[in-house]
Amino acid sequence: MANHGPVVYSLKVPGARLHYEIQGAGPLLVVVGLPMGCKGFAPISRPLAEHFTVVTFDPRGVHSSPADDPNQDAVPELMADDVHRLISALDAGPAYLFASSGGGVTALALAAQHPDQVRMLVAHEPPLLELLTDRAEVRAAIDEICDMYREDRPAALQKYLALADIRLHRPTPEPPGPNSFTAPWDVWTILDRLFHFTLRPTTRYRPDIDALRSIADRIVIAGGSKAQGALFHRTAVALADQLGTEIVDFPGDHTGFLTDSEPFAQLLFEVFTKARSHNGS
């Protein structure tokens, strides 16, 4: 099937307008990121659109999804309500979901609140720090980094990357100045949103484990094969343990959907296909 690229839409939700894009044909697959939006998932969206109707979107406050209150915290329940309204507006039945990082927290909140909308969820390294035994220390480190970001953005970013053991696969962006050009993907705009309004509420979210256990057969917890021992791989393992499931390692590290996009998309297709065959749909 030829993939002619995404068609752009928008959806008004309480307090924001969501920019979303649709490409491909087949069962509904919604890709959820935070703070990552449509552009960051393009490398896997294109091949997946050969098999699914792929929907990507910019979360409220990011890129082309303006929020009425730009200083509003990205509380997981609020972000999940946006996805709930998007899936409802698409009116295509329950969705397959691939959700990465903070988007994994969003999707888990959605699954707990609206399990009828989730056909299958792959949650890739959701940063659920409250599930860790050393959560107090990591919480304090996150607070320090967010406070530091207000004064020295590059230093705070480097400290965060070291804490999470995330490797940038492109040069660290220079902070914008009076003579600077916009960085690719408006990188600092995403980072501002992350450190000011997203990182604290996302990492302090406590998932409803009982609700998730009731649909554990529809949830796959994923980790990066090159991220074992890193902070967010640890949180993925902790969640899998809570749900009584095994973690599935995907190619690459925390951003494997960017660096290893072809094998990453292939494994996603295989996981969803297995679920379709198991469920007879």
pLDDT in tens, 115-168: 999 999 999 999 999 999 999 999 999 999 999 999 999 999 999 999 999 876
List of residues 6+ apart from 142 with CB closer than 8 A: 129, 163, 199, 200, 203
Low-confidence ranges of the chain (pLDDT < 50): 1-2, 177-185
Q: Which amino acid is at 262?
A: E
Q: What is the DSSP string of 192-220?
A: HHIIIIIHHHHHT----HHHHHTTGGGEE
**Cβ pair 76, 105 in contact under 8 A:** yes
Enter the pTM of the model: 0.93
Q: What percent of the chain has pLDDT over 70?
A: 90
pLDDT at residue 175, as a whole number:
56
Q: Which helix (H) or strand (E) holds 121?
A: strand 118-124
The rounded distance, in Å, linking the Cα atoms of 252 and 254 is 7
Token look-up 């993939």 returns 3
* Cis amide leading into 35 (omega within 30): yes
Q: What is the pLDDT of residue 133?
A: 98
**Percentage of residues in the chain with pLDDT exceeding 90?**
86
Residue 1 pLDDT = 40
Per-residue model confidence (pLDDT) at position 2: 46
The answer to whether residues 264 and 252 touch, using CB atoms and an 8 Å cutoff, is: yes
pLDDT at 174: 56
User: What pLDDT does residue 5 have?
Assistant: 79
